[in-house]
Structure 1
Amino acid sequence: MGKKATKAADNVYCIARYKAAEEDSRFNSRESTAELIGMDRTRLARIELGTVNPYPEEVLQLAKAYGSPELCNVYCSKQCPIGEKTVRTIEIEEFDRIALKALGSLQNADELREKLIQIAADGVISEDEHEDFNHILEELQRISMNAQALQLWADKHIELIHNREENQNERK
């Protein structure tokens, strides 16, 4: 087994590789990982050490190889110059927490729909409707974040199940 990279221990890409190594020993070292995914070993080291940001296609490659779709969200929300301004970081939690948050955010959906219909009825957002409209936008953002978290959880766990099945078939 490869030794743990202490300088990169808090790097999201390194952490994802370590988690992938729990399922597949080929990810134990940067060398074998780099060979497996077709990336230069020193490039992978720089990404894990945080001295360079990965290119989007590298993030996709790492996310797929590690079964960690959350890497795409991390890249977009924290490393992409456009995404930093437009994409919010999504934290992956346990399924029950995400499901309850998603359901909770939908509780007032009918009320939000009615308010939005009232505001939109005349095609103008009047001064006295600004507060309600901003509240609607905040609630829609919360619903969106919860839906994205649920989607990310599903992508990760469905991918993990698929990868385990593929690894078992390869070993047979």
Structure 2
Amino acid sequence: MSKKATKALNNKYYVARYNASKNNDSLTSREKSAEVLNIDRTRLSRIELGTVVPYPEEVLSMSKAYDIPELCNSYCSSDCPIGKETVKPINADSLDRLILQFLGSSKKMEDISEQLIEITADGIVDETEVAAFDAILDELERMSVNIQSLMLWAQKNRDALKEKNN
């Protein structure tokens, strides 16, 4: 890319394209990128300037073309009205940290299983068990984010791992 677009510097879609352009000349300009993505150049400009929110299929296309799978999670957890309510942001930067988080979560699994059995043994969650049940659900949510983060890291780094092992 010739120079950074100062108005778009903090836009995740611009930053993703800018970083991807370092390894792919067809992403060095909005014009070329719009062709690769099969969207209008002015629409890509508006997305990168933050004046419009991209459609899910546009984000998916960007994620694939830019080789940045975490772009989809970022869109779902921060831009999509439904996703904001249902999708947790995940971070797939550091493998050692992700492994430690996963191991910490999995150590708690046996405890959680026992608590679930105790709470649901009678087939209901009564008023005295709601707080404990909510705490279990919160921990399961954290575990889910840890697992998704580890999977995203693997997806993002799979090619590098294959090359390293060959």
TM-score normalised by structure 2 residue count: 0.91
1:69 aligned residue: 69
Indicate whether 1:14 and 2:14 are aligned. yes
Distance 1:78 1:131 in 2: 28
Amino acid at match of 2:47: I
Q: Secondary structure at the match of 1:128?
A: coil
1:1-172, aligned counterparts within 5 Å? 1-158=1-158
Deviation at 1:128, TM superposition (A): 2.2
Distance 1:155 1:105 in 2: 21
Tell me the alpha carbon deviations over residues 67-86 of structure 1, each in whole angstroms, 9 at most, x when there is no partner: 11111111111111111111
Deviation at 1:92, TM superposition (A): 2.5
Distance 1:66 1:161 in 2: 19
CA separation of 1:160/1:28 partners in 2, compared to 1, >3 Å: closer, same or farther? Answer: farther
Point out the more displaced range, 89-98 or 117-126.
89-98
Distance 1:161 1:36 in 2: 27
Point out the more displaced range, 57-66 or 128-137.
128-137
Unaligned segments of structure 2, at least 5 residues: none
Distance 1:132 1:36 in 2: 51
TM-score normalised by structure 1 residue count: 0.88
Q: Secondary structure at the match of 1:82?
A: helix
Deviation at 1:2, TM superposition (A): 2.6
Amino acid at match of 1:89: P
8 A contact 2:37–2:58 mirrored in 1:
no
Deviation at 1:148, TM superposition (A): 0.8
8 A contact 1:67–1:160 mirrored in 2:
no
CA separation of 1:155/1:105 partners in 2, compared to 1, >3 Å: closer, same or farther? Answer: same
Distance 2:130 2:37 in 1: 51
Among the aligned pairs, what percent are the same residue? 52
Unaligned segments of structure 1, at least 5 residues: 165-172
Distance 2:105 2:38 in 1: 42
